[in-house]
Chains A and B, each alone.
Chain A
Amino acid sequence: MRPVAISVDKPEESRDLMRKAGYSFTFLSDPNAEVIRRYDILHKGAGERGQDVARPAELLVDRGGVVRWRNLTEDLRVRARPEAMLAAAKALP
């Protein structure tokens, strides 16, 4: 299972984050929040400068493009636990 991080950050900001945090997985940039909006993940005006950003959300998509598991927190402070994500990934065919 491959993690893919998506945010409104520009590619160069993601590159910065990857370098600083030592991440090597894929980061995708959605600066105009088009995909984020299509997935209904938009959190209007919640960015630091009042810009629209993605709310935290995790979706596990199988090879056929079907959502197999998702986690939508109701609270910014409460995030998906790694164990839950790994268990969901293990259940993939």
Chain B
Amino acid sequence: MNDRRFNWPLWTGLVLSVVAVFSYAFFFYRFPITRDVPWVSYILLAAAIALLIAGVRRAPGRKIVAIIVAVIGVGLAALFVFSVTVGSRVPTGANVPAVGAKAPDFTLLDASGKPVALAQLLAEPGAKGVLLVFYRGYW
């Protein structure tokens, strides 16, 4: 048997784990159906890990290169799972005004530097309500 043949499961596994992570960041992230639960990425990563394991088993001799490649691939998968779970968690917000509670009034500057009060927005003729959208900021 030729032990020097190209270990395709190993290298395909590595490429697939990189593809899984980047395809989420640049493509699947755009769609709620593949973003909120990143199931496509999980499937790709599971396939990548299976290939990496197969690659290590197939590797001849001391397998040191195969093991290093597999650790990189599995590490990428672990990093991905961490960042979409623990890494993206937000505080619980136990004291956010609840449904039925009064929203505290406030005055803040708008984009043109003019002070705007919540009460003033709510009092505008024809106003049915205001949707406050808190966001992280444009950095």
B134 & A39 in contact (Cβ 8 Å cutoff): yes
Q: Across the interface, which residues of A come within 8 angstroms of B105, CB to CB?
A: 65
Main SS of the interface on chain B? Answer: loop
A-B contacts, CB under 8 A, total: 201
B134 & A56 in contact (Cβ 8 Å cutoff): yes
B109 & A75 in contact (Cβ 8 Å cutoff): no
Nearest neighbor of B122 in chain A, beta-carbon distance: A63
Give Cα distance in the complex from A72 to B96, angstroms: 9
Give Cα distance in the complex from A3 to B110, angstroms: 13
Give Cα distance in the complex from A62 to B7, angstroms: 63
Give Cα distance in the complex from A62 to B95, angstroms: 19
B102 & A66 in contact (Cβ 8 Å cutoff): yes
A4 & B131 in contact (Cβ 8 Å cutoff): yes
Stretch at the interface among B28-36, B52-60, B70-78: B28-36
Q: Across the interface, which residues of B come within 8 angstroms of A46, CB to CB?
A: 90, 136
> Which residues 41-93 in A have Cβ within 8 Å of B in the complex?
41-44, 46-49, 53-70, 72-79, 81, 85, 89, 92-93
Give Cα distance in the complex from A39 to B36, angstroms: 25
A29 interface neighbour in B110, B134, B139, Cβ under 8 Å? B110
Stretch at the interface among B8-16, B42-50, B112-120: B112-120
Q: Across the interface, which residues of A come within 8 angstroms of B104, CB to CB?
A: 35, 38-39
Nearest neighbor of B94 in chain A, beta-carbon distance: A40
State how many angstroms separate the Cβ of A54 from the closest Cβ of chain B. Answer: 4
A-B contact pairs, 5 of them (CB 8 A): A1-B129, A3-B133, A9-B138, A40-B93, A70-B96
B contact set with A: CB distance below 8 Å: 29, 32, 35-36, 84, 88-106, 108-113, 116, 118-119, 121-122, 124, 127-139
